[in-house]
């Protein structure tokens, strides 16, 4: 995948290119599955982060739940890393909730949220 820094996001966007507009602190790319849906990743309000090391990486993962393809992937070092579609198990949810919750009320709410999201979260969401 290439990155192009652009003042404005062009109308015609190419496959396999991440268009980054520092001015609008947003990037856009075509869904990596080839479905040609446009994926917008705003960087304001601590949504996505774009980092530059050897190459560029986007954080967190891209989960295209609104598209038919439902694709889910990372962009790491300029490469696409596909997420497995394995779903989170109940025991994994408990583990996550126990390790991240501070109070019981919060943890119950968090567990419910995790359960409701279960179908939409794949494993790779958790190791970042
Ligand atoms: Zn797609």
Distance 24 CA to ligand 1 centre (A): 24
What confidence tens digit (pLDDT) does each residue in 61-73 have? 898 888 888 888 8
Q: Model-level pTM greater than 0.75?
A: no
User: Would you say 1 and 79 are in contact if contact means Cβ atoms under 8 Å apart?
Assistant: yes
52 and 114 together in one domain: no
Report the separation in Å between the CA atom of 102 and the middle of ligand 1, taken as the mean of its atom positions. 37
108 pLDDT exceeds 70?
yes
Verify that 18 and 78 share a domain, yes or no. yes
Residues 15 and 57 in one domain: yes
Distance (Å) from CA 36 to ligand 1 centroid: 6
Domain count within the chain: 2
Domain extent for 73:
2-82
Same domain, 37 and 63: yes
Same-domain pairing of 115 and 64 = no
Separation of CA 56 and ligand 1 centre (Å): 21
Higher pLDDT, residue 117 or 61 = 61
**Is residue 49 located within the same domain as residue 95?**
no
SS3 20: strand
- Residue 78's pLDDT is what? 92
74 and 30 part of one domain = yes
- Cα-to-centroid distance, 118 and ligand 1 (Å): 20
47 and 95 inside one domain = no
């Amino acid at each position: 995948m290439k990155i192009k820094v652009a003042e404005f996001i062009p109308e015609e966007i190419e496959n396999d290119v991440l268009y980054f507009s520092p001015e609008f602190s947003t990037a856009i790319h075509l869904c990596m599955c080839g479905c040609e849906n446009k994926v917008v990743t705003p960087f304001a309000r601590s949504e996505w982060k774009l980092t530059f090391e050897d190459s560029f990486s986007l954080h967190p993962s891209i989960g295209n739940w609104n598209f038919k393809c439902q694709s889910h992937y990372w962009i790491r070092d300029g490469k696409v890393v596909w997420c497995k579609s394995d779903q989170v198990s109940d025991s994994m949810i408990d583990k996550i909730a126990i390790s991240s919750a501070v109070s019981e009320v919060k943890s119950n709410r968090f567990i419910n949220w995790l359960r409701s999201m279960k179908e939409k979260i794949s494993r790779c969401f958790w190791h970042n």
